[in-house]
Amino acid sequence: MINILFSAHNELWPRYQPVLEAEFAKQNLQVNLFKETNFPETIDYLIYAPTRVDDDLTVFTNLKLIQSLWAGPDKLLKNPTLTQPMARMVDAGMTQGMMDYVFGHIMRHHLQTDKFFHADKWLTDVTLPLPSERVVAFLGIGQLGMACAIAAQEYGFNVIGWSRTLKQDARITCFAGEYQLREVLGQADIVVTLMPATPATERIIGADAIAAMKNGAALINPGRGELIDDDALLAGLRSGKLSGATLDVFREEPLPLDHPYWIEPNVLVTPHIASETRVATASKVVAENIARDLRGEGALFLVDPILKY
């Protein structure tokens, strides 16, 4: 029998428990699925989306894997007691949600919707460009970024992607590495940041990056707040260098009520809702990943402790 502990918000347990049980059965796994335990040393796998990120993980002395329910590993990596392998969540439902969010806001910037929303007069001389006349750049073309990039490309935008390592994908023109960042930023009308928060991505959108962007470009950040130098972004918006920003994630969440983003005219704040883990698809991923691990094939989507994603 395999002992699995589900450690997450109480309200998630009744939603996940029956679906997880069904998915474990499909994998022919006989499991004891617990919501809590007094015997942490008996736990083989931890399904994890904690209410607090300072749990003492050293008590799980026989743990083979932490399967996070979150896509972003940054918060969990801050726990100094984390020594076990950790897989992050890659879930088809979450990916679809992110595609909806990103594509919707690309279209908002593309159609200049906000300008008309706030207009109090009949604006003349407006010819909206076609998607084929726009370049959309994705900084981060991993699981989420690549899915969004392909959707935008298939719709008709010119899409380019940038990542740490060069991607080979016939559909998207790809760039990589620090020295190509300026080149990518200089081409884009809309920049979407879908990278993890790591030491290497901290404030990657700072004054230099903003200076390298096209005049009038827009930014969409559903990645992490740490990617942005907030003062530099505000300066870029106020000078007119950038036309607008859609921000879903922030250094401090909830975004404090006195934060200037709330009242900045060309900023749309959304409350970290770009996408979330979906019970049905995520439970399938959890069961498949644990089954893989038990078969000795190695779990998928393991977080690299050095790269921090």
Q: By the criterion CB under 6 A, which residues form the site for ligand NDP?
A: 71-72, 90, 94, 140-145, 163-165, 194-196, 198, 200-201, 222-224, 248-249, 272, 274-275, 309
- Minimum gap (Å) between residue 288 Cβ and ligand NDP: 17
Burial of 191 (0-12, 13-18, 19+ CB in 10 A): buried
Residue placing its CB nearer to ligand NDP in the complex, 95 or 243 = 95
Residue placing its CB nearer to ligand NDP in the complex, 173 or 198 = 198
Alpha helices in the chain (DSSP H): 13-26, 74-77, 92-110, 113-118, 143-155, 181-187, 207-212, 230-238, 279-294
Residue placing its CB nearer to ligand NDP in the complex, 7 or 275 = 275
Residue placing its CB nearer to ligand NDP in the complex, 40 or 50 = 50
Q: Look up 109 and say whether it is catalytic.
A: no
Burial of 38 (0-12, 13-18, 19+ CB in 10 A): exposed
- Minimum gap (Å) between residue 141 Cβ and ligand NDP: 5
Sort strands 242-247 and 217-221 into parallel, antiparallel or unpaired.
parallel
- Minimum gap (Å) between residue 28 Cβ and ligand NDP: 28
Of 272, 278, 292, 295, catalytic: 272
Residue placing its CB nearer to ligand NDP in the complex, 10 or 165 = 165
- The CB-nearest residue to ligand NDP is 142
Q: What distances in angstroms separate CA 232 from CA 55, 208, 248, one per listed residue?
A: 35, 9, 17
Burial of 2 (0-12, 13-18, 19+ CB in 10 A): middle
- Minimum gap (Å) between residue 74 Cβ and ligand NDP: 7
Q: Look up 224 and say whether it is catalytic.
A: yes
Residue placing its CB nearer to ligand NDP in the complex, 165 or 215 = 165
- Minimum gap (Å) between residue 190 Cβ and ligand NDP: 17
Run of H or E including 4: strand 2-8
**Do the beta carbons of residue 220 and residue 105 sit within 8 Å?**
yes
- Minimum gap (Å) between residue 300 Cβ and ligand NDP: 11
Residue appearing with tokens 């009308």 = 189
DSSP string for 34-80: ES--S-GGG-SEEEEE-SSTT--GGG-TT--EEEES-S--HHHHT-T
Residue placing its CB nearer to ligand NDP in the complex, 131 or 225 = 225
- Minimum gap (Å) between residue 231 Cβ and ligand NDP: 21
Looking at the DSSP bridge assignments, the partners of residue 31 are 2
CA distance 264 to 220: 15
CB atoms within 10 A of CB 305: 12
Q: What distances in angstroms separate CA 80 from CA 74, 264, 280, one per listed residue?
A: 12, 37, 31
Of 88, 105, 109, 224, catalytic: 224
Residues serving a catalytic function are 224, 272
